Amino acid sequence: MNKIGILNLQGAVSEHLDITKKAINKTNIDCQVNAVRYHDEVGKCDGIIISGGESTVIGKLIKERRIDKVIKENEIPVFGTCAGMVLMSKKTDHDHEIFNIIPMEVERNSFGSQKNSFEREIEILGSRFHGVFIRAPLVKRICNDDVDVLSKIDDKIIAVKYDNNMALSFHPELTEDTRLHEYYLKEVLNL
């Protein structure tokens, strides 16, 4: 049975857990999902989801617990939202731990502070989706032609896919819409 881990270090962990379970049930994929905190738990997963939160804190814990090494050594596909997108980047505008999974440069808090958070209908994967943006990052530059842009707002990149990895600047786990989690399970992980 396939295993998906929700990285339980900070952020919307329970929301990702709930929506991933719904996506699994909806698609009838033979898969289980659990919260994971340590490198040995991560190493047993077929995919890892990194939720939003404070990227500096999450990045330090990932490095301290050697989670980044396990992900890279085992080539575990990652689905990152908000802070997860920042952590997956090659470079960011802030000096903190990142682990270079997607060749892109990301700007943290690109839309402003917490008070500038917003919700907006976006176009992604050929259909409309309700985007929840909380201190959201943006992709400032793509560093490899193999990175697929999945969505933009006003010509600003908010969602990408690279190999078996996917990063979003918004929070699909804060909606009831399971489609992006289904896409990660079916298309990105090939389950």
- Give per-residue pLDDT as tens, 115-154: 678 899 999 999 999 999 998 899 999 999 999 999 999 9
- Give per-residue pLDDT as tens, 71-103: 999 999 999 999 999 999 998 877 667 788 999
Q: Phi first, then psi: give them for residue 64, nearest 5 degrees.
A: -60, -40
Domain of 174, CATH number, reads 3.40.50.880
Give the CA-trace dihedral at 126, 121, 55, 188, to 10 degrees.
-20
The count of domains in the chain is 1
Which active-site residues does the annotation give? 82, 171, 173
Enclosing domain of residue 147: 2-188
Kindly report which listed range (4-13, 20-29, 89-98, 134-143) carries the lowest average pLDDT score: 89-98
